[in-house]
Amino acid sequence: MAEGISDEVLFERYRGGDTGALRTLVERYHGELIRFLYRLVGDQAGAEDVFQEAFLQVHLSAASFDATRRFRPWLFTIAANKGRDHLRKKGRRRTLELSAPVGGDDGETFVDLLEMDIAQPDAKMDTEEMNKKVQRAVEMLSPTLREILLLAYFNRLSYAAISDELEIPLGTVKSRLHAAVASFAKAWERVQAEGMAE
């Protein structure tokens, strides 16, 4: 069926009047995009709403899509913009639920993924408590830095893939990610200090 057909070919078919082609793209990206949006906006209902808004925008902007470019980065850029709009409308800071496992079978944490020299948490600290602390630290970052951390460390995207998805130069990806890691390290220290003060 549509399994072996590229996103770009499907989208061209949709632009040519095949509405089923867009339905295929919606189904193809539902899981991945919902996970990304859930981390971006902080709740499942919001993620579903933004997902629908993103595909509505894809429909409305279909004529302006540059057929020489890839569909996926265009879709993720639209979704990220809609996610930011959603957060502005809600007038609150973004929250990130980190209930999904952040590491492999070895219990690797988000902090381990950042490869920073941070003291290990108390061995008695359970995963849920660790996730809450990581969530608080991530929430302290600006939306721009938060987004790049999500793409790099949760979606495990390469610099080149992030550059494509956000449509920014590779050098900008590297400098933002460097700034994000440094900001996270400071935020993590503050969260750890809060924990000691409690």
CATH number at residue 144: 1.10.10.10
Counting residues of the chain whose pLDDT is more than 70, the rounded percentage is 77
Q: Mean pLDDT for the chain? A: 76
Question: Same domain, yes or no, for 22 and 65?
Answer: yes
CA-closest candidate to residue 137, choices 89, 92, 90, 180: 180
pTM: predicted TM-score of the whole model, two decimal places: 0.58
Tally of domains in the chain = 2
The Cα 67–Cα 50 span in angstroms is 24
Evaluate whether residue 54 is within a structural domain.
yes
Residues 119 and 55 in one domain: no
Q: Are residues 81 and 151 in the same domain?
A: no
Query: Is 135 within the bounds of a domain?
Result: yes
Q: Do 64 and 131 have their domain in common? A: no
80 and 116 inside one domain: no
Q: Residue type at 197? A: A
**With contact defined as beta carbons under 8 Å apart, do 88 and 74 qualify?**
no
Q: Which CATH number do you get for residue 21?
A: 1.10.1740.10
The answer to whether position 102 is within a domain reads no
CA–CA dist 175, 182 (Å, integer): 11
Quickly list DSSP for 150-190.
Answer: IIIIIS---HHHHHHHHT--HHHHHHHHHHHHHHHHHHHHH
105 within a domain of the structure (yes/no): no
Tens-digit pLDDT profile for residues 124-153: 456 667 767 777 787 788 888 888 887 787
pLDDT digits (tens, 9 = 90+) for 172-192: 988 988 898 888 888 888 888
Q: Tell me the residue range of the domain where 48 lies.
A: 7-90
